Every structure is written in C-alpha cells, then in structure tokens.
Amino acid sequence: MIDNHPDQEIAEKNTIAMHSTKIEKTDFAGLHEDIESSSVNQSSKIWNVTDEYVLPGTTSDGLATGFTVKEGIPLLLTASGEVGFYFAGLTDPATPNGRPELGSINGLPLVSLVARVGDGEFQFVGTGPTQLTGSGELVLYVNDSFFGDNSGAWTVEVSYRCFPGYGLGDKNHYHCK
C-alpha cells in the first residue's frame, strides 16, 4: 500500500520530488510493527504514513504537495538539510530553522522552512517536529525574497495516521489509498 497524496490528485504543473513513503501498521491497542503486505488485516488497522518531499532552495513559488490537510486532524512535519544563500556578503547555509539573526520575512526567520495550509497564514516549520493547523492544500516554502542565489535543498517529512481505503468525503480522518 502506497499513499503518495491522500484524497488528492496532483496537477502536472507541480514539481514534487518524492523519494519515499514509509508506512507501518498499528493495531488499535497501539502496537507497532513493520508492514508486510501479505499480512495486513485492513479492517482492524490504522496506518502511520510518512511522506518525504524535497524542497529545492530555488523554489520561488512554493512546493504544492497535493496533500489536503483536514481541520483538527494531526499532521506532523520534520525537516533536515541545508539551503545556501547569499546575504550581505554572507554565504553560510541555513537549516530549516533559518537565519533569524539576519532578519525576517512575513514575521518569520529569513531563509527558514515555512508552510501554508489552504489560504491560511504562513506557519513556521523549521526542523520540527511541528504540527500544522488549518484546512486545505499543504504548500512548502523557503522564506526568502530572492531565490536566484540559493542552492541546496531541504528534505521534509510529513507524517500522519490514516485508515485503509479511499474514504471519499470523510472529514474526521485521513484515508490511505
């Protein structure tokens, strides 16, 4: 079972670099084990899914993930990597936590990992773990105003729990396809 984007189709214009999806099953008592495709009883399991995206430092319009966040349903983000940039003679790279000592954009640290859910406000993600709020498509951003001098990338993991099946129309949990 692979879940790249629950309940969502991806438009061809999006530039997503997804390296892997890790899925493990959890019984309702909370016991974890690695997934074995031949031994899954879908009617009694919850799935823990981690999707991985790569956000290049040169991505000026954000990375539309195609993932629809549901209000009140937990979604956890963690990130790693470095984005190189040039600022007033400095060429030091930035982790997803950014470079707050150099200033801010949108009230958030310069060259930091931020996200927007739907039409909501920008939310700081950093290295995380960070739980996001809101409803709508998850879009990841490099919080910068000039991208032509950036290099490198951040790897962003989006983790959530889901139930087997398509579950079209369900609003109180995610479904794995």
Q: Is the pLDDT at 142 greater than 80, yes or no? A: yes
CATH number for position 66: 2.60.120.430
Residue 143: give the domain boundaries.
18-25+43-170
Report yes or no on 153 lying in a domain: yes
Q: Which residue has the higher pLDDT, 3 or 66?
A: 66
Distance in angstroms (rounded) separating the CA atoms of residues 163 and 35 = 14
Closest-CA residue to 143 (of 96, 77, 89, 101): 96
Say which residue, 76 or 11, is predicted with more confidence: 76
Q: How confident is the model at residue 102 (pLDDT cuts 50, 70, 90)?
A: confident
Query: What residues form DSSP beta bridges with 84?
Result: 151
Number of domains in the chain: 1
Average pLDDT over residues 88-93: 67
Mean pLDDT of 106-114: 95
What pLDDT sits at residue 172?
57
Residue 79 reports pLDDT greater than 80: yes
* Structural domain contains residue 175: no
Own/partner long-range contacts of 89-97 (Cβ < 8 Å, ≥24 apart): 93/152, 95/126, 95/127, 96/125, 96/126, 96/127, 96/128, 96/154, 96/156, 97/126, 97/127
Q: Does a structural domain hold residue 81?
A: yes
- 110 in any annotated domain: yes
- Residue 3 or residue 55, greater confidence: 55
Q: Does the residue 11 lie in any domain? A: no
Task: Give the pLDDT score at 176.
Answer: 58
If pLDDT is split at 50, 70 and 90, which confidence band does 141 have? very high
Average pLDDT over residues 18-39: 41
pLDDT at 107: 94
Residue 108 in domain:
yes
Q: Is residue 80 part of a domain?
A: yes
Assess if residue 176 is contained within a domain: no
Stronger pLDDT, 88 or 51, i.e. the higher one: 51
